[in-house]
Amino acid sequence: MSDAQDLSRSFGRAADVYEAGRPDYPVEAVRWMLEPVVGMAPVRVADVGAGTGKLTRVLRGLGAGVVAVDPDPAMLAALRTAVPGVTTLVGSAEALPLPSAGEGAGALDAVVLGQAWHWVDPAGASIEAARVLRPGGVLGLVWNLRDERVPWVARLTAVMKGSHAEELLAHGGPEVRPPFAGLEEERWSWERPMTRAALTAMVRSRSYVITAGTAERSRIEAEIAELFDEIGAVGDAEVSLPYVTRAFRARTPGRGEGREPT
């Protein structure tokens, strides 16, 4: 397994802090990704790299029928607790355990990835998404990113190191490959009230921290404790962590209208 794969599959050992520390996705961003395929019938969506279900629950709240796919059984176990009743499958973006679009009623309206496309091979994942999508279906990609224009947030990132996602989005953004021809993008700025416990869980949920050695983890814990004291994140007091959500969407070749009711 490559270093990147090891990092991408490290989250299961910290599923509890991932669930506690990571933010939900803004409903507006998820609705925007699905907008091209919303019709009279329920939208059928695969949430790939679903983790503990942060994106799955928003999709469900919008009325979509969702199947959750993740390479880590521990993350899927946490998802089933957080979002009961969702079908879960072990698999990856490059090898989806789903039927091709032409096989009976198996076609999906959307394949979405939250905080996950930076872990995949764009060529293989693009081919697989197109395989399971109906003509005109949507590939949606979304990331919640801390807004590092705020000085203490930039300092927090320096302490715990930048992520693969942050590096990708700072250097041109995601890419998709054929048959997808390009990406549309929208952004939303918002704030998340967080206690010291939630901020600490967020830090501990990052792949770099999960896989760090004992000495490095001790350094990170000491430095974030000092920072949280300085910004007033003490006890049950809340501070606002600013985020920017960036969402992208692409369409498979085919008709552009929504799916007809079934």
Q: pLDDT tens, position by position, for the chain (262 residues)?
A: 444 444 444 455 567 887 888 899 999 999 999 999 998 578 999 999 999 999 999 999 999 999 999 999 999 999 999 999 999 999 999 999 999 997 655 689 999 999 999 989 999 999 999 999 999 999 999 999 999 999 999 999 999 887 777 778 877 889 999 999 989 999 999 999 999 999 999 999 888 888 889 999 999 999 999 999 999 999 999 999 999 999 999 999 875 444 443 3
Distance of CA 140 to the CA centre of its chain: 10
**9 Cβ neighbours under 8 A, 6+ residues apart:** 1, 71, 72
pTM of the model: 0.88
C-beta atoms surrounding 231 within 10 Å = 17
Hey, is 159 helix, strand or coil? helix
Helical pair 151-160 and 214-231, crossing angle rounded to 10 deg:
170
